[in-house]
Structure 1
Amino acid sequence: MSASISAFILTFSTLCGSRVVSGVLSPPKNVRLTSYNMDLVLRWDAPDQPASGLLYTTEYNSSFISYKGCVNISTLECDLTNPKHIYEYGRYTGRVRAQLGTESSAWVESNQIALDKDTVIGSPNVSLFSNGATIEVSIKDPVFRISTLLDVYNLASYKITYWKHDQKEKAISINDMRQNRVVLPNLDPWTKYCVQVQLDTERNPNPNHSEPSATVCESTTIEEEAPWLAAVVTFVVMAMAVAVVVVAVVHRKRISHFLCPKDALPQHFKEYLLAPPNSSMYLDMRNSHPPKEIFDPVSIIADSSTLEEGLPLEAAGTSCSKQPGTT
């Protein structure tokens, strides 16, 4: 009797256990915590045969203190970058679970990362400026989500690699360069060069710890004849400008008196210059009237006998008569 009761209990527990297991959601897979330029992002893959309407909830912790991340999201990643809860040198772990209605899967833990050692540093921005037979490389650091590059990696340096166009196998590298503006040495004139820059933080020997910049190319021109000439001309012009200003300040009173003299003209000069002209010719011209035009009327009368004979007027002649009283 006891044996049959034991068998019944074992069968019942097995059936109930299988029902509970079958009712639990499958958890997410391949949960991983990543960092790029000092952010903190949790990513995962959906469980096998995910149900429709499946949602996810995430959390992350540091030093045994847990913080809530994304709640009831449908995407497969969660940005946990919160400046109030994470800092540059912290160690973090994330976890995620699936939810469907009132059912939830088990939490799945991610890997642990140290933010300053495991973050992937993005590529720097590189610009080239050609000046004769030289090329200057200007480097701009990537932008971090938290802090800045030099605040986190105060010993960061640049690896600058340059080569002639289509000759990358003969590339030349400059290591441990800490300046963000560098002039490339020993370049040939009238030649195209390509440059690539990568950051080295000395925190992680992994070459994938930082991304190289895009390849940028620029050409040199004629060999620079006098690199100091522009500096000398600028210095001379600045020195002359400073000298002029100093002279103007020191002798400002004399210059002011020269440009705006305070001495007045003598009174007899003023009277002579302001007096009207008294020339007789000027007075006659000013008081004269326009001359009156004098003229005499003249009339031309043709001879009637000549006109009757049909002779031309010119051949017949004319007779002129003046009006009485004319000259």
Structure 2
Amino acid sequence: MSAYICVVVLTVSALGSSTVASELLKRPTNVRLTSHNMNLVLKWDPPEGTTSDMVYTTMYRSSATDYRIGCSNISSFECDFTALKISQYGNYTGRVQALLGEESSNWVESNYITLDTDTVIGSPTVSLSSNGPTLEVTIQDPVLSILTLRDVYNGVTYNITYWKKGQNEKARSIANMQQNRVVLNDLGPRTKYCVQVQINTDKNRNPSQPSNITCESTANEQEAPWVAALVAFVIMAVAVALLVVVVVYWKSISQFLCPKDALPPHFESLLAHPKSNIYLQLSPAEEICHRCSIIAGDRTVEEGDPLEAAGSSCSQQPDVIVEER
């Protein structure tokens, strides 16, 4: 009996010591599950006296599943569950636990959210174009983390607010517009107007975040929007045509702009082949040769014979007769 009592006492003391050890590590605070544009993110604040070695583990579950691990041993103060195959119509909650070495805090539960009804829808993108005294408003839905806005919600409408720039107190509104292209035709010519848009859905209890304020000026009634486009087209066509002409006729254009040096016409005539009869008469005539024989005494020296052969005869007979043939 005494042994049984000892076992019970030891067990109770062990459980008490483990509880005290776990309570020594403080829990995270302000744990909340959030959603913006259909994502799912668990956020929290660190406990007091947090050190750089403290890490966190998170879990999440839906109304149809048990808890699953989200992030393990992270040092940041949020965990994104979006990539873990969540459903756009699911009901989710999360929890987080602080870890420091061998110690761990108790789990801290977050709030519940239903994704399609509680998510915060971001602001749409608005662009304006002037068409005479009217403005065309084009609205682009925000990009969601899963699917598209119209895949999640069947009924999507727009609230459009517009006013003259500087006259916000006189703003006018168009509610529950289903088209994402709207023409504002009750405007004055040559006046700057500003536009802001919010999205309403059939399931989400809150409207979207408002768009940025976008401003544009109207034009006169006589001015057509195609006039500026036509002028721009003509200018571009002329520029392209000039470029083509320059490329094709570049050689001729360059020679015209930068001609090479040329001799005057009377200098060029000096370089030509002379055709004057006077020049031809002054030019050296062709040399005419006649066959001749040299007779020295009784010996005749024919042309082509060596002159040395008649040398002794010429010295003895000074009279030499040259006879042409």
TM above 0.5, yes or no, is: yes
State the distance in 1 between where 2:22 and 2:58 align.
21
Task: Give the structure with higher Rg (CA).
Answer: 2
Instruction: Tell me the SS of whatever aligns to 2:60.
Output: strand
Offset, 1:291: 8.5
Partner of 1:216: 214
1:226-252 residue CA offsets vs partner (Å, 9 max, x unmatched): 79x99xxxxxxxxxxxxxxxxxxxxxx
Matched, 1:21 2:16: no
Pair 186,34 (structure 1): closer, same or farther in 2 beyond 3 Å: same
Amino acid at match of 1:123: S
Q: Structure 1 187/178 Cα, relative in aligned 2: closer, same or farther at 3 Å?
A: same
Structure 2 letter corresponding to 1:64: T
Question: Do the aligned residues in 2 keep the contact of 1:31 with 1:42 (CA within 8 Å)?
Answer: yes
Structure 2 CA distance for aligned equivalents of residues 40 and 16 of structure 1: 37
Q: Which residue of 2 aligns with 1:105?
A: 105
Report deviation, 1:21.
1.9
**Paired position in structure 2 for 1:184:** 184
Residue 234 of structure 1 is matched in structure 2 by none
**Identical-pair percentage:** 58
1:16 positional shift: 8.4
Offset at 1:132? Answer: 1.6
- Contact 1:131/1:224 (8 A) holds in 2: no
TM-score normalised to structure 2 length: 0.63
Structure 1 residue 206 displacement after superposition: 3.1
Change (3 A) 1:73 1:14: same
Task: Return the offset for 1:185.
Answer: 1.9
Structure 1 unmatched runs, 5+: 1-8, 231-289, 298-327
1:81 pairs with 2:79: no
Distance in 1, Cα, partners of 2:33 & 2:17? 33
* 2:167 corresponding residue in structure 1: 167
Alpha-carbon spacing, 1:100–1:192, altered in 2? closer, same or farther (3 Å): same
Paired residue total: 227
Name the structure 2 match of 1:71: 72
Counterpart residue number, 2:3: none
Structure 2 residue aligned with 1:39: 39
Paired AA for residue 173 in structure 1: S
1:33–1:93 contact (8 Å) kept in structure 2? yes
Distance 1:87 1:16, change over 3 A: closer
What is the CA–CA distance in structure 1 between the aligned matches of 2:97 and 2:134, rounded to whole Å? 58
In structure 2, give the amino acid aligned to 1:75. Answer: S
For 1:146 and 1:162, the matched residues in 2 are separated by: 31
Note the residue ranges of structure 2 that are not aligned, 5 or more in a row: 1-7, 228-273, 283-325
Give the TM-score normalised by structure 1: 0.63
Would you say the 8 A contact 1:133–1:224 is kept in 2? no
